Chain A
Amino acid sequence: MSKVSYKITDFVRIKDHRIFHGKDQDFKTEKSLGLDQFLKASYKNLEIAYPKFHKMDGLCKLGIIASEVLFKDHFISPDTALVFSNSASSLETDKKHRQAMSGMVSPALFVYTLPNIVLGEISIKHKLQSENVFFMENRFNPQLLGDYAEVLLEAKKTPAVVCGWIDLKNAEYDVFLCLISKEGEIPLSKENLKQLYLFEYE
């Protein structure tokens, strides 16, 4: 995939009430907790102290939590690009907005009826002024993400790329974000991205 040797510098996985930083479990809650409770418990555990978090929809909260874990051991340049994907778009919030239309529509809810808002929220929180893109795909597509990240890095548009999958549907979430740069041990490849996404985190 790569001419220059780019690496998967770090990664985060959030699924089934658990947060993994690399392959190590960082945090978990009881499975009985609903999505909102899991997100709030994660926010407290990470000591994020960002009141705007509470105004966000579920997809953005997942993005903020994932980026907080992913960025905590690294210097993140303002030029760090974001290349995200999912299959459900912002459907979870779209459904809530549609239901709300029978009465008074909430402007704050309408703000989140696009999936790429999560890119903006992460950029605001971490002061990124960079390239970003959000793809809709049926499933996790390591070829697309790896190729796009590599093009940005090769074009010298960015020293690092955060790419991955951030999906939320019917309160079920599936998040895998990785930091791609010249630093690290794991070579950037379609196979390695797929292997890390499918890894049985225990």
Chain B
Amino acid sequence: MSDLRTELKQSIIEQLNLEELELADIDNDEPLFGDGLGLDSIDALELIVMLEKDYGIKLTDPEQGKEIFASIDKMAEYIEANRTK
């Protein structure tokens, strides 16, 4: 597992207050929304803030979020390609 994927899981657990989850509970290819982790629309906004704060990525099109936040793998791929810090 790459460090970025582990880092993302830690950030998601901490920032979205998923206190009953451990790192191992989140699979890299598991959907974050819907049937997967069950995140909601407010969580999506938190993830957008997290991308900007931690990686300097500003999402201007909310539609992008559906693809970027599909899973930890997808998030990591997008961050690696677009991070400014």
A binds B: yes
List the one stretch of B12-20, B60-68, B70-78 in contact with chain A.
Answer: B12-20
The number of residues on chain A lying at the interface, defined by a beta carbon within 8 Å of a beta carbon of chain B, is 10
Q: Are B49 and A55 in contact (CB under 8 A)?
A: no
Binary A-proximity of B18-52 (CB < 8 A = 1, otherwise 0):
11110000000000000000000011011001001
CA distance A103 to B53 in the complex (A): 9
Residues on B with beta carbons closer than 8 Å to the beta carbon of A106? 46, 49
Q: Are A104 and B53 in contact (CB under 8 A)?
A: yes
Checking A51, A103, A107 against B46 with a beta-carbon cut-off of 8 angstroms, the contacting residue is A107
Residues on A with beta carbons closer than 8 Å to the beta carbon of B42? 107-108, 111
Q: How far is the CB of B36 from chain A (nearest CB, A)?
A: 13
Q: How far is the CB of B17 from chain A (nearest CB, A)?
A: 4
Closest to A40 in B: B19
Q: Are A108 and B43 in contact (CB under 8 A)?
A: yes
CA distance A76 to B19 in the complex (A): 29
Checking B17, B18, B49 against A107 with a beta-carbon cut-off of 8 angstroms, the contacting residue is B49
CA distance A103 to B52 in the complex (A): 12
Q: Are B20 and A104 in contact (CB under 8 A)?
A: no
Closest to B49 in A: A104
Q: How far is the CB of B79 from chain A (nearest CB, A)?
A: 17
Q: Are B18 and A54 in contact (CB under 8 A)?
A: yes
Residues on A with beta carbons closer than 8 Å to the beta carbon of B20? 51, 54
Q: 8 Å CB contacts to B: which residues of A98-152?
A: 103-108, 111
Q: How far is the CB of A91 from chain B (nearest CB, A)?
A: 21
Residues on B with beta carbons closer than 8 Å to the beta carbon of A55? 16-17
Checking A51, A103, A105, A111 against B18 with a beta-carbon cut-off of 8 angstroms, the contacting residue is A51
Task: List A residues at the B interface (Cβ < 8 Å).
Answer: 51, 54-55, 103-108, 111
